Every structure is written in structure tokens, then in C-alpha cells.
Amino acid sequence: MGKDSNKQPSEPGTDPVSAGLALLDDLPQLPAAVIQLLDALSDDATDRHRLARILDQCPSLSAKLVGLANSAYFRRRSPVNSVSDAIFVIGFRTVRSLAVATALQEPFANNRCPAFHPGPFWLHAVLTAHVARELAKKASPLLSLNPDEAYLCGLLHGIGLLALTHLFPDELHPMLRQGRTLPGALAEQLQQRFGATHHGVGAALLKRWHVPELFTCTTAHYANPEYQGSCWMACRLIAVAHDWADRVIHQDTTNTFDQHGLNLLGIKSADSDSVGLRCLEQCEVFKELAEQISGETAQLCDPETVADAAAELKSRLVDSIESLSSLTALTEIDVEDWSEEAVLRSALNVLMANQDMQRCSIFRVEENELLNAVGLDWSEHNAAGSEKPLASAATHRFKVGEGLIGLAAATGEIQHCRDCSADPRFQRTQTNADAGLGSIISVPIRFRDETLGVLNISHPHPNVFDEWDERFLYVFCNLLGQLIKSNRLLRNMEHKIAQRTLELEVALERAESLSVLDGLTGVHNRRYFISNFSTLIEQCARYGHTLALLMIDVDDFKKINDTYGHLEGDRILKAIASILKERARGADIIARFGGEEFIVALQETDCEGANRVADRIQQQIRMLSCGVGEQKRGITTSMGLTCYTKAASMPVKTPEQWIQEADDALYRAKRLGKNRIAVHVADLPKSGR
């Protein structure tokens, strides 16, 4: 890593340029001598002696200029010894190019990324720059592409990769070691990892160094074919040159130019072919120039190395497909209707179907021990679709911290035993189940900060599993931990729902018992009376007991409410309810039947007894009054009584029939002038009533 291993190039919501600027705070500015040199080269009045005085302030650049002047690039017979003579030989244009390239290379000279090689990088940059300049000469005059500016655009276009490899060598190493990738693949990886591409970071660096806008723009947009800004011609030119240089670097036999890009630039195929041929002829010269800039020999890619990388990439692609298949199948396991054991066994079937292993087991954490919950080997997996039942899990137990499995549970980290015969962490059980094991991986199954169990994977051969397997199994177990936790939450929820349902039923029964009383008077309500009167009728019929029903209605109750108010009316109702409870026996049922109506079921009472009870109740109610002084008035009631003279002649009737008879008698009392009792004797002939 660079200075800060935790530093990220961007925060969420920032654009690539801002991300690049955030990265580049750790990089040095251009040397003062180089800035003076660039300013001097921009001045038409500057001569080589003034340049030489500036270059003397930058020894490394001076040495490179003299070395380049004496190289095969310029084919000098007599050696060049002074900076002034080197400038004369090289020319202002090449001095400017070499000065810029050297200035860009020096901040990144301490390369810490093993997969990044400055030599091939600068060879690619020089090839791109040279081809861009030559193609600019062939482009349509209408595009007005300056060849020297095109050269510098090509030289600068990859600078962002230099910055990233300098700041984040460890992260860039696995990306670059894969070798040549599909167009845009590296940019996508960088965007996913850092939130910015090397194009955006390079543009930000050049902007920070106050390089002209043309170079910043082409660095940012040359890889975007959709770009339509003011610098689109230069961007398309660099894209064509970059693609060609990439083919040459990787020894692609189809090192031709992109015909579509040439058409956009108005360059004929014959002209581009001649440019490509001349550049290939000078390839050794370009390699020497790249070496002067980078200090490293620029080697072209070895086809065998590329082939090996392709084979490894193909193998990783197969591993990726198998891993994705496993993870996809794992997410499809039904945790809603299955038990935990069924979920775990299905997970092992998924793993066995897509990965190379002999046996896999899941050990569940129970207090301070790990119990083998489920296990599966190849023979069981293949028998899963047959009628042969699967073997149950062995009852192996490990203490947390004991052996590979126990260590995985205790530390929360993967324990990889590459060779069971030589690893002291591997502890064999007393059975022969572990015979022939060569490799083992024990992976903790976690949900957040809780360890739920350990997945144990084994293979008969040593050194089978690698870092890829560790990463995959880590993801697999994290997902499995979520499934286990979800299943447990569902099971726990079902238990709680059943428990709460039972509690609710009890509460409803209790509420129902509380709801049988009339809230105002404290006697039972109509609902309770109907339900229990039906039972009372059946009991009297079964045991031959008599039964009478008395219905009571307060006379002119509406006038009482209208004259004295509802509170006074409520007081009268409460007083009548108290009289009824006082006069009733334990087996009798008293209820408020309506607004001012009460009903009383008198058990083991014939007509004569019921009349006496009704008369005493009526007399006691007449003693009640409401109002004071001249407004004072007494309270009277009308009563309807239905009864039998003897139990033997009492048929079984419904509660509704009993109530209807009492109600008819009540209204007869009302019609006869109120304040009286009317009796319906049910077992007398009609004429005798």
C-alpha cells in the first residue's frame, strides 16, 4: 500500500475528477526545474543555451537527454557530452516530450506493485504518442489536429495508472497480474474497487499539475466512444493509437488500426498502413526511449506467459460459475417450511453438487460444544435421488477451541489444514471416519457477531484447496448463517404466535366472562340471560322442577328522563336492580333485558309463589321516588308473569317462547292501567286464563 493503506480514492457521490484529486494529495508536485523548462519551451524566443541552464538544475533529466542523444534513436557517430549539444541533436520537440515523460515518471519511480512494469508501460505510451503524431499528419485538414499536441496527448494518456499503482500497489497487483483483459475491464474493476477509473484519476493529476486542457480532456475521455465534447477528435485519435499500441505490446498478429476510428478522422487505410509499418520498423528505437524514461528494459509480452494467464483465467472462470451456482442454489432453499436440519442438509447437497470435496459436515454450536448436526459425503449425495435413506450425522463433539473446528468457532476465522498428516491442529477422532483425509477447511458460520456453527470441508488429497476456495466458502457460510438465523426466527415466531394465540383465547374467555354484566346496574345482561336461561329450562325439565319468568318494566320511564334527567333515571334503574338482587335467591337469574326492562327467572317456583315474589318486588319499588317538593313523584312498574301451577305439566319450551309469554302478560298489564301484575298461567286452558 501507499502512505495510508485505508485511504480510498472517493467517497460516495463524488465524481471521478474529485476522486482523483482526493487521491493525489499524497503525490509530489512537478519539480520547479521542469515547470521552468515547460514555460521556456512554450516561449518561441527561448534558445538551447537557456534550456541547458534550466536543465542543469535537474541532473536526472540532463543525463537522460545526453543518453538519448547518444542512443540509436539519433544514430550519432561522434558522442554528445553537453546538455546544450544534446538539445541541438534532439530538438526542442523531443526535449519537451522527454521532459514531460520524465517529470511524470519520477514521482512514481519507487514502484511497489509487482505486477506493474514501468518499461512496457512507457513503451506503450511512446508507441501511442508516436503513432498519434503520425496519424495526425494524415488526418483530414478540417479536423486541425496539431501533430505535436497529439504526441503529448498519447504520452500522457495513461498517467492515471501510474498514480494508482503508486498509491495502491496491493490492490492493483491482482488486477494487473491477470495480464491483458477485455477493453474497459480494468476501468470497471477500478471503478468498483475505488469509485474512480484511472482515466479520471489521470485527468485530475494533470489538472493539478496545470497541464493544458487538451491533455486533461483526452486523458479523461479517450476510452469513451460516446464522448462528443470539444476535444472529440483528439480523443478518437488517441483511442486509435492506444488500441494499435496495445496490439503491438501483446504481439497480436492482427496489429491493424481500428477502421471505424480512422473513418471518423478521415484517414485512408493506405496512409494508416504506412504509419504502422514505419512504427514497427522503429520499435527497437522506441524500446530504448522507453528505457531512458523508466530506467527499465521494455520487454514485449511473452506468448507463453499470456497463454498461461489465459488458462488460469479460464480455470477461474469455471470456478466462478460453480461458485455462483452454489450461492444461487443456496438462496433458493426454503427456510419457511423446513426444519433447521432440512435446511442444513440442503445446503450440504448444494455444496457437494458444485465443489470438489469428499465430505462436508456442519457442526452446530451448543453452549461450549460443537455437535455434528449433519454430514454428507459423495456416496450419500449420489444416493439422495434414490430410495436409499441417507445416513444420519455422526455424533462427533468438539469443545470450542479444540482442533480445527473448535479453533474456527473460537476465533471466528477460517482454519485451513493443507496437509492433515503434518498439521498439529488436526485432531483425529477415535473412529476410522477420518482415515485417508488429506486437506480440510473449517469455516465459521456466522450471523453478525454470533457464531452459529462451523462448516467442515475435507478432501482425500493434500494441498487441494487454495485461497479461492477460502474466499468462496467465507461468502457461502455468511449466506448460510443468514439462512439459519432466518429459519430460527421463523420457528421462534411460529412458537410465539401459537403461544400468543393461546393467551389471546384465554383473554377472550376472560373478557367474555366480564362482558356478561350490565355496566350500569351490575346485574346480568340480556346475552347472559338468554344463554343461561336455556340451560335452566333443560335442568328443570330433567329434574321435574317448576319454573316461572317475571318481566318488569318501569312505568313512564321516558317522562322521568325528560323531567328529571338521565342521571336520575339511571339512579332509579340501579335502585330497582338492588331490590331484585335482594329479593332473588341464588338459583334465580336476574338480568337487565332492555332500557328500563328487567327479567327474572324463578327456579322451583310455581304460579302462587311467583305471584308473591312479584307482589313484594312491586311494593318495594313503589317506595322509590324521584324529584323533591312539588316535583316529587313515585315510581311504579308493570309486570308480566308466565308460570306453571305444577312441574309435571310443564313442557319443554324455548327461551323465546317463555319470554314471549311474559312479554304478552306485561303489555296486558300496561293496557289495564299500569302499576299492576298480569299473569299468564301456561298450564291452564285458555278459557281459564
Q: Please compute the mean of the pLDDT values over residues 501-506 and round it to a whole number.
A: 84
H or E segment at 237? helix 232-249
Q: Where are the beta strands (DSSP E) in 272-396?
A: 359-366, 369-377
624-663 b/e (C-beta count within 10 Å ≥ 16 → b) = bebeeeeeeeebebbbbbbbbeebeebeebebeebbebbb
Q: Among residues 347, 462, 454, 357, which one has the least CA distance to residue 399?
A: 454
**Three-class DSSP labels, 405-455:** HHHHHHHCCCEEECCCCCCCCCCCCCCCCCCCCCEEEEEEEEECCEEEEEE
pLDDT in tens, 537-566: 888 888 888 899 999 999 999 999 999 999
Question: In the beta sheet, which residues pair with residue 450?
Answer: 447
Alpha helical stretches, state H, 374-459: 378-382, 403-411
218: buried, middle or exposed (CB in 10 Å: 19+, 13-18, 0-12)?
A: buried
DSSP letter (8 states) at residue 412: S
Same topology between domain 110-301 and domain 319-490: no
| pLDDT value of position 167 | 78
Residue 17 CA: distances (Å) to CA of 172, 203, 260, 512: 19, 7, 29, 72
Distance CA(652)–CA(644), nearest Å, equals 12
Per-residue confidence at 389, pLDDT binned at 50, 70, 90? Answer: very low
Alpha helical stretches, state H, 515-543: 526-543
Question: Torsions phi, psi of 405, nearest 5?
Answer: -65, -45
**Fold for domain 524-688?**
Alpha-Beta Plaits (3.30.70)
Distance CA(645)–CA(607), nearest Å, equals 5
Count the neighbouring beta carbons within 10 Å of the beta carbon of residue 463: 10
Query: DSSP string covering 63-87, please?
Result: HHHHHHHTSTTTT-SSPP-SHHHHH
| pLDDT value of position 639 | 96
pLDDT in tens, 67-113: 777 776 666 667 888 878 877 777 776 776 677 677 667 667 777 78
| pLDDT value of position 28 | 60
What are the extents of the domains in the chain?
25-109, 110-301, 319-490, 524-688
| pLDDT value of position 378 | 58
Distance CA(614)–CA(669), nearest Å, equals 13
H or E segment at 659? helix 655-671
Q: Among residues 197, 247, 223, which one has the least CA distance to residue 19?
A: 197
CATH of 319-490, one of 3.40.50.10490, 3.30.450.40, 3.30.70.3170, 3.90.580.10: 3.30.450.40
Decide: helix, strand or coil at residue 360: strand
Q: Are 449 and 412 in contact (CB under 8 A)?
A: no
Residue 360 clears pLDDT 80, i.e. is over it? yes
Count the neighbouring beta carbons within 10 Å of the beta carbon of residue 52: 18
| pLDDT value of position 2 | 37
Question: In the beta sheet, which residues pair with residue 445?
Answer: 453
Q: Please compute the mean of the pLDDT values over residues 636-641 and round it to a whole number.
A: 95
Q: Are 194 and 10 in contact (CB under 8 A)?
A: yes
| pLDDT value of position 618 | 94
pLDDT in tens, 168-191: 888 888 888 765 555 667 788 888
Q: Are 24 and 204 in contact (CB under 8 A)?
A: yes
Q: Which residues contact 306 (CB under 8 A, 6 or more apart)?
A: 179, 180, 250
Distance CA(559)–CA(644), nearest Å, equals 35
HSE value, Cβ hemisphere, 13 Å, CA-based, for 636? 11
Q: Which three cell numbers stand for residue 439?
A: 486437506
**Fold for domain 110-301?**
Hypothetical protein af1432 (1.10.3210)
What is the largest distance, in Å, between two alpha-carbon atoms of the chain? 157
Decide: helix, strand or coil at residue 524: strand
pLDDT in tens, 419-432: 887 777 775 544 44
β-sheet with 677-681: strand ranges across: 524-525, 589-592, 597-603, 547-554, 637-643, 677-681
pLDDT in tens, 574-586: 999 999 999 888 8
Decide: helix, strand or coil at residue 441: strand
Amino acid (1-letter code) at residue 29:
Q
DSSP letter (8 states) at residue 106: G
Distance CA(640)–CA(670), nearest Å, equals 9
H or E segment at 327? helix 303-331
Residue 285 clears pLDDT 60, i.e. is over it? yes
Report which of residues 628 and 319 the model is more confident about: 628
Distance CA(468)–CA(342), nearest Å, equals 28
pLDDT in tens, 601-616: 999 888 999 999 999 9
| pLDDT value of position 44 | 66
DSSP letter (8 states) at residue 677: E
75: buried, middle or exposed (CB in 10 Å: 19+, 13-18, 0-12)?
A: exposed
Q: Are 74 and 89 in contact (CB under 8 A)?
A: yes
* Dihedral Cα 567, 571, 576, 577, nearest 10 deg: 90
Distance CA(28)–CA(209), nearest Å, equals 10
Cα–Cα–Cα angle for 11, 13, 18, nearest 5°? 65
Decide: helix, strand or coil at residue 159: helix
| pLDDT value of position 420 | 80
Count the neighbouring beta carbons within 10 Å of the beta carbon of residue 271: 17
Report which of residues 645 and 384 the model is more confident about: 645
Instruction: Bin 266: left if φ > 0, else alpha if -120 < ψ < 50, else beta.
Output: left
| pLDDT value of position 423 | 77
